[in-house]
Amino acid sequence: MYLMVETRPDLALAIGKLSRFVSCYGKEHWAAIKRVLRYVKGSMDKGLVFYKNSCCVLQGFSDADWAGDHETRRSTTGFTFIFGGAAVSWDSQMQKTVALSTMEAEYMALCEASKEGVWLNKLVKRVASQGLRTAISGGLINIKVDNSGRNDFSKNAVEHKRTKHIDIRYHFVRDHDRQSDTGALCNGRHSVGPDDERARQDQA
């Protein structure tokens, strides 16, 4: 768990899934844990490397499976943010509600990634004000996604019978599209603006 949180984003998914069975584990879970430990042993030389001359642009990636948990049929949210050539923030966790489509699962994942992106953007802006060479300095953050339907839904404020059940808290993304400098979703990228800190706090 310590490795996953501190320095090994590649362990986030496996550890996240195994942690769901801490109080009700079985032989298959022990086998999975041993497999993870063998992977860690064989990859001790891997880690996060930040290069001095790396491009200081904050780049996000958001994704989700659909109904990946066979017991609850909930999806798993995953996102990571890269800065200076390596990951600086990442997460993999089960979504709180059941998604009825891949678009809905991706939409909820983007909401979580956007909230993290807003916070990171504020952090980088503060550090940049002290002299760090950075390319964004409070500008927009691109979060790459791979679901065009989710892009269209976040820009469309009209409620449909297939989407009106989605929890209000996940419309943080849509609120951003109306308030940010660009409000654009294009080529699988979602832009997060620096003026969304208030919305992030409201959704926390």
- Residue spans per domain, the chain: 1-47, 52-203
Task: State the pLDDT at residue 144.
Answer: 86
Task: State the pLDDT at residue 185.
Answer: 37
Per the listing, tokens 């798993």 go with: 76
The CATH code of the domain at 52-203 is 3.30.420
Which of 113, 56, 54 is CA-nearest to residue 89? 113
Measured CA to CA, the distance from residue 95 to residue 126 in angstroms comes to: 31
How does pLDDT run across 70-92, given as a tens digit for each residue?
Answer: 889 999 999 999 988 899 999 99
Structure pTM?
0.76
Task: State the pLDDT at residue 184.
Answer: 32
- Tokens for 97, please give them: 């509600």
